[in-house]
Amino acid sequence: MKKILFVAILLNLLPLYGQQIIDTVQTDKGPMIIYSNRTWAFLKDKSFNGVLNSRVHSILNQDLGLNFTQTWSNDVCFTSGKHNDMSKLNDTLWLCVLDEAHATYRAPVDGIVTSRYGYRHGRHHSGIDLDLETGDTVRSCWAGKVRYAKYNDGGFGNLVIVRHYNGLETLYAHLSKLIVAPDQEVKAGDVLGLGGNTGRSYGSHLHFEVRFYDAAINPEEVIDFDKKMCKDENLFVHKGLFRPGAKPSVLEAEEPDPVIEKDTVERQIDVAAHVVQTSLKKYYKVKSGDTLTEIADRNQTTVSKICQLNGIRPTSTLQIGRSLRVK
Ligand SMILES: [Zn+2]
């Protein structure tokens, strides 16, 4: 009898670190479970697949057929392995960095940029370093869900990774203290932890990264760290962004002419993000029956210029739906 009781108690205590769940409370950061020793954790939604921006995910997978993955893990920095190959991104994806539901950006720290993205001392720096004093608050840039919050022995020290509703992930490294827990929902400006010098770090600073489907981009492509604001409410995602050492594109004030046919534009608005032109480059989506000469004429350019921009020959077969750079 005693043995059965013992087993029953043991099973009851098993759910987490030998603690019994005594309550579940709704918080504005998600459902939280309270254990008998007064510790707590955020409740995991078993059906959650990690996709916070289903529109972007569906465009990448259904429309563009890229088969990119975005899983959820509290234990690894990269969730897709080597699966998401940005060199296959032949289109430009229009990502709303700030949308109506999540329109706020907050600077991660107050400090200035001390080291930029790109090559330094022969190594690629896949983020940006921001100055801080140990103990300074580090905040989430945008709203999202904490994917990772623990010590990382790969060099990041105490590390927080937040996956955002806009489709990006941000990474905050070398923290002295973690304040959030994995699976916690955060708003823009919520404190994630305190700045520090943990891991492979020489002097207190925040190493900050911006990633799209596990691939790092230059944070200055999205954020103006001097003005402490987003550069633009939109980010045009194309494979050039993921080139190691890529410099941020220069946004021009003038509005370029629309290049996409009206019916296509309507369809694109329908799915919220899609193939568009960037400010400096112009793209055209090939339709059935198009010839290079017609495309060149329509965009006031020449066949040889289009060939040069896209690395194709005048005799190349045009794949319907492919985006051709025309400027
Ligand atoms: Zn760094």
Per-residue model confidence as pLDDT tens digits over 100-158 = 889 999 999 999 999 999 988 888 999 999 999 999 999 999 999 999 999 999 999 99
- Measure 192 CA to ligand 1 centroid, in angstroms: 18
Give the other-Cβ count within 10 Å of 58's Cβ: 15
Confidence of residue 34 (pLDDT cuts 50, 70, 90): confident
- Measure 106 CA to ligand 1 centroid, in angstroms: 19
- Measure 2 CA to ligand 1 centroid, in angstroms: 57
Consecutive H or E run containing 24: strand 21-27
- Measure 290 CA to ligand 1 centroid, in angstroms: 47
Smallest CA-to-CA distance from 173 within 161, 155, 159 is with 159
- Measure 112 CA to ligand 1 centroid, in angstroms: 13
Give the other-Cβ count within 10 Å of 5's Cβ: 9
- Measure 173 CA to ligand 1 centroid, in angstroms: 8
* Single-letter residue type at 78: F
CA 85 – CA 289 distance, rounded (Å): 30
CA 249 – CA 247 distance, rounded (Å): 6
- Measure 152 CA to ligand 1 centroid, in angstroms: 14
268 has pLDDT over 50: no
- Measure 259 CA to ligand 1 centroid, in angstroms: 39
187 has pLDDT over 80: yes
Taken in order of first residue, the domains within the chain and their CATH numbers are: 2-42 (no CATH), 49-249 (2.70.70.10), 262-325 (3.10.350.10)
What is the mean predicted confidence (pLDDT) over 27-49? 80
Q: Using the 8-state DSSP alphabet, how is residue 83 labeled?
A: -
> Could you tell me which residue, 313 or 187, shows the higher pLDDT?
187
- Measure 206 CA to ligand 1 centroid, in angstroms: 7
What is the mean predicted confidence (pLDDT) over 277-282? 50
- Measure 233 CA to ligand 1 centroid, in angstroms: 25
- Measure 118 CA to ligand 1 centroid, in angstroms: 10
CA 73 – CA 83 distance, rounded (Å): 15
Give the pLDDT of residue 269: 34
- Measure 81 CA to ligand 1 centroid, in angstroms: 22
265 has pLDDT over 70: no
Residues with CB under 5 A from ligand 1 (ion): 127, 129, 207
96 has pLDDT over 80: yes
Confidence of residue 58 (pLDDT cuts 50, 70, 90): very high
189 has pLDDT over 60: yes
Q: Is the pTM of this model over 0.75?
A: no
Give the pLDDT of residue 227: 96
- Measure 117 CA to ligand 1 centroid, in angstroms: 8
- Top mean-pLDDT range of 4-18, 61-75, 105-119: 105-119
Name the percent of the chain lying above pLDDT 70. Answer: 83
- Measure 226 CA to ligand 1 centroid, in angstroms: 17
- Measure 172 CA to ligand 1 centroid, in angstroms: 10
- Measure 125 CA to ligand 1 centroid, in angstroms: 6
169 has pLDDT over 90: yes
99 has pLDDT over 60: yes
Give the pLDDT of residue 321: 67
- Measure 184 CA to ligand 1 centroid, in angstroms: 25
Q: Are 107 and 225 in contact (CB under 8 A)?
A: yes
278 has pLDDT over 70: no
26 forms beta bridges with 31
Give the pLDDT of residue 15: 46
Per-residue model confidence as pLDDT tens digits over 280-324 = 567 777 777 788 888 888 887 888 888 777 767 777 777 776 777
- Measure 195 CA to ligand 1 centroid, in angstroms: 13
Per-residue model confidence as pLDDT tens digits over 224-245 = 999 999 999 999 999 999 988 8
Instruction: Tell me the three state secondary structure of residue 278.
Output: coil
